Chains A and B, each alone.
Chain A
């Protein structure tokens, strides 16, 4: 081939796939098409699960759907800020993982995934009712429930035995008495009351409910300022002083894990990440007698108050963003990821830290492997209330949670900054500004 002929042929080739080609066909060349799906998630407290996404899901979805999966993980506390900036700028991740009722806050930026939610529910024996409330706005599914991280109290069996408590306390009063003895024995209870997304609200909301307090009535009128709420604050203030590690006021969601694993605290409301870390690091984490720490950990639900026992488990949902240039690819990925054979690969490495979005996952063989994890299996069924109770878990409830109103109310009373009555009034005032 002569030089002139070669250049001509090459030029034609470039034109057909290059700028001229793009302009003529009004389509990007194949290699530049939006083939990538960018998913933003939290830094999983079970790091093996993020590894599955990157090292198993990514190559498999590339093979199955031709999609390049780009997994980005950040601190869960930073996700709302990322979502806001992505939505306002109209660019960012194609899928954003949103906690609890945040889908309500960002619903206007969501792709309708009702069809897919229907398929997932049908295939899995039904999506849990709370998950339906968290992910639907006006009857439309704005996001898909991915998992639920049940919050149960992880505690040191031997230390509870030492103070004469053979079975985990059933009521707050019993837990208070037990905690007093534990703190006296230099094994305080560890609980965060900091401005953080998970362990703090999963403790404070159920505590409020178990004393009969609630944020609003069914019509959305703020009713937080009540004798029940004040009673719960009085109880917690004394409980804090008598039984807790008071450093918890400055803890985030990871401090209690570190404190528990290092033997500084005897009990903490948590997902199963403490136990899973102890299990995976059996050589590293030991009791003072030299036994693997995980052999001394058990789990129990939050105790009951005068108005019963309650629980709040953190929900993890995926929203396909409306601004995404590859919303189709993002939906295809989620469809693929929710297929039983694929989801299972992620589910099993969680070892029970996260439960599935449907009842089907309660029957998985994984639950037979470790009896210590069994309380997590059916924990989602115990969740009957959501943030914003007795109203809806809507965007106002999400705003209140995002501003840590209920948690700060307890923190203010426990730190002595406010009297229980003042903290209650303050929080009711804050809610009043939100529910106007």
Chain B
């Protein structure tokens, strides 16, 4: 017992010294910063920087499945630039992102304003509103695909039996219709994200401001436009940035809903890059196609963040 106690007693000062040494080390701001940042940086390097650099390298080579290829410079980018399917996919991506974001913002704002009021079962309604966002995209896209099915569409069935249509509507078999269908599904899926985030923003706005405006005789529209909207703008911009990034690089929804068809008319940059790079095994060309998204997204983020910074300065 004496020996054991003695050993433990001898260990304690050494341990204490070690702990105080570590404490001293962590008290240094530089060391603490490095310690805290390292895991994040490692994750960023491994899962973001490395794949990005690899994609960049692939795009400059003729690599294809099972063949490492060789350096070809900007050939893949030139090929993509002259590719009519890619040009269409790029236009589709801009169209899809623009309209889906507009609808998500408008409907999300409307929903957020509604949910900001007091009514019975408010919590249940708020929670259930998140369902489209919670359900995995692949599952919900499959459900929508059934609803838009060229032969068995439930919507066609309902409209036909109500006497509104005499022939089936070409939801997915007409390129223009199919593109709008994709916008509708994306809006349905993304609207809750807008609504919940804007709702959080709305709740930070002091009711006193609205009361004061109301006392001054401002109408509901004026209160929204001159009080709510300016105060909600920073949150709105952040949500729009997130949404633009996600929508511009969307893949799952189109892949399941239309597969890029009919006749390649609904391909987005991501789905077309996948078809070329992964399904056809032309990895270099696929990487070049997908990298066309980068400057666009970079510009969107840069402009919006710059605008946000300027607003904060004011």
Chain A residues close to B by CB (< 8 Å) = 77, 80-81, 83-85, 87-88, 105-109, 193-196, 245-252, 255, 258-259, 262, 264, 399, 402-404, 408, 411-412, 415, 417, 426, 429-430, 433
Q: Out of B170, B178, B258, B281, name the residue touching A84 (CB < 8 Å).
A: B281
Binds A, one of B217-225, B272-280, B295-303: B272-280
B235-272 residues with Cβ-Cβ distance < 8 A to A are 258-265
Known: A84-B65, A247-B150, A433-B79. A408 touches B279 (CB 8 A): no
Question: Are B172's CB and A250's CB within 8 A?
Answer: yes
A402 CA / B152 CA spacing, docked (Å) = 28
Contacts between the two chains (Cβ within 8 Å), count: 110
Question: Are B259's CB and A194's CB within 8 A?
Answer: yes
Question: Are B262's CB and A193's CB within 8 A?
Answer: yes
Q: List 26 A-B contacts (CB under 8 A).
A: A80-B279, A81-B274, A83-B65, A106-B65, A194-B261, A246-B173, A247-B150, A247-B151, A247-B173, A249-B150, A249-B262, A250-B170, A250-B261, A250-B262, A255-B149, A258-B152, A402-B280, A402-B281, A411-B262, A415-B174, A415-B262, A415-B265, A417-B175, A417-B263, A426-B84, A430-B85
Knowing that A195-B262, A251-B150, A403-B280 touch, tell me 5 more A-B residue pairs with CB under 8 angstroms.
A80-B281, A248-B150, A399-B282, A404-B264, A415-B174
Question: Are B264's CB and A195's CB within 8 A?
Answer: yes
Task: Scan B79-90; emit 1 where CB is below 8 A from any A CB, else 0.
Answer: 100011100000
CB distance from A96 to the nearest CB of B (A): 12
CB distance from B155 to the nearest CB of A (A): 13
What residues of A have a CB within 8 angstroms of the CB of B172 in the complex? 247, 250
Question: Are B152's CB and A108's CB within 8 A?
Answer: no
Most chain A C-beta atoms within 10 Å of own C-beta, residue among B85, B173, B283? B173
Most chain A C-beta atoms within 10 Å of own C-beta, residue among B79, B84, B151, B178? B151
Question: Are A194's CB and B281's CB within 8 A?
Answer: no
Question: Are B66's CB and A87's CB within 8 A?
Answer: yes
A357 CA / B151 CA spacing, docked (Å) = 35
Question: Are A81's CB and B279's CB within 8 A?
Answer: yes
What residues of B have a CB within 8 angstroms of the CB of A417 in the complex? 175, 263, 265
A258 CA / B145 CA spacing, docked (Å) = 15
What residues of B have a CB within 8 angstroms of the CB of A247 in the complex? 150-151, 168, 170, 172-173
Known: A87-B66, A403-B280, A415-B263. A245 touches B151 (CB 8 A): yes
> Is there a chain A Cβ closer than 8 Å to B312's Cβ?
no
Question: Are B79's CB and A249's CB within 8 A?
Answer: no
Question: Are A402's CB and B279's CB within 8 A?
Answer: yes
> Is there a chain A Cβ closer than 8 Å to B67's Cβ?
yes
Q: Out of A85, A109, A412, A433, name the residue touching B263 (CB < 8 Å).
A: A412
A415 CA / B152 CA spacing, docked (Å) = 20
The residue on A at minimum CB distance from B148 is: A250
What residues of B have a CB within 8 angstroms of the CB of A251 in the complex? 150
Q: Out of B67, B178, B282, name the residue touching A108 (CB < 8 Å).
A: B67
What residues of B have a CB within 8 angstroms of the CB of A194 in the complex? 259, 261-262
What residues of B have a CB within 8 angstroms of the CB of A433 in the complex? 79, 83
A86 CA / B278 CA spacing, docked (Å) = 11
Task: Scan B121-142; emit 1 where CB is below 8 A from any A CB, else 0.
Answer: 0000000000000000000000
Question: Are A411's CB and B261's CB within 8 A?
Answer: yes
Most chain A C-beta atoms within 10 Å of own C-beta, residue among B168, B276, B278? B278
The residue on B at minimum CB distance from A433 is: B79
Question: Are A399's CB and B280's CB within 8 A?
Answer: yes
Question: Are A195's CB and B152's CB within 8 A?
Answer: no
What residues of A have a CB within 8 angstroms of the CB of B281 in the complex? 80, 83-84, 105-106, 399, 402
Task: Scan B167-210; emit 1 where CB is below 8 A from any A CB, else 0.
Answer: 01010111100100000000000000000000000000000000
A80 CA / B275 CA spacing, docked (Å) = 10
What residues of B have a CB within 8 angstroms of the CB of A109 in the complex? 65-66
B90-138 residues with Cβ-Cβ distance < 8 A to A are none
A429 CA / B83 CA spacing, docked (Å) = 9
3 cross-chain pairs, A with B, having the tightest CB-CB distances, nearest first: A247-B150, A108-B66, A249-B262
The residue on A at minimum CB distance from B84 is: A426
Known: A245-B151, A258-B152, A403-B276. A415 touches B175 (CB 8 A): yes
